[in-house]
Amino acid sequence: MMRKAEELYEAIRLIRPIHQLSAHVVTEQLAGHALTMPMRAVLEVLHFGGPQTVPQLGRALWITRQGIQRIVDDAKGLGYVESRTNPGHKRSHLIVLTEKGSTTYLDVHDAELERIDRMAAPLPDEDLEATVRVLAHVVLELQAIAGGDTNQPTNQQT
């Protein structure tokens, strides 16, 4: 049983350099855009999740309300997102991707997928599928250990 724990620990241990190296690569790739990594993350959440309030974005990215508000304000200033009236709440506006934000995100994401495709090419499909299953399981288990409250942002500034 400890062998499995040690193997899973090794996989978890590799996540940190993957996170750091991928952040470095993405940051370098964004150099040609007036887009930061945190803004890119907001655009991604809006692209896949649709319009959201600032608190919803913060929860999705595990960023404090104040931190996400700064990122959203910067993204608004660059024309990537805009605020719209929220029919469900008078004071909490919805943040929506603009056409510029959508186009920018898709351009950046397409370039990322090309690089990732080259990395994935030599790997068997079943290995990739197993990796996704294992990581999804680890996330669920860690959420349970953390008390199941996945909606509380940390001080991490993605």
pLDDT in tens, 75-104: 999 999 999 988 888 788 999 999 999 999
Residue 4 corresponds to which tokens in the numbers above?
């499995």
CATH number at residue 123: 1.10.10.10
Q: Domain for residue 88, yes or no?
A: yes
> What stretches in the chain show pLDDT beneath 70?
1, 148-158
Domain of 97? 34-145
Give the C-alpha separation, 61 to 93, whole Å. Answer: 18
Please tell me the predicted confidence (pLDDT) of residue 32: 82
Give the C-alpha separation, 143 to 147, whole Å. Answer: 6
Q: Is 84 helix (H, G, I), strand (E, B) or coil?
A: strand
Q: Domain for residue 127, yes or no?
A: yes
Q: Domain for residue 152, yes or no?
A: no
Q: Domain for residue 53, yes or no?
A: yes
- Domains: count for the chain: 1
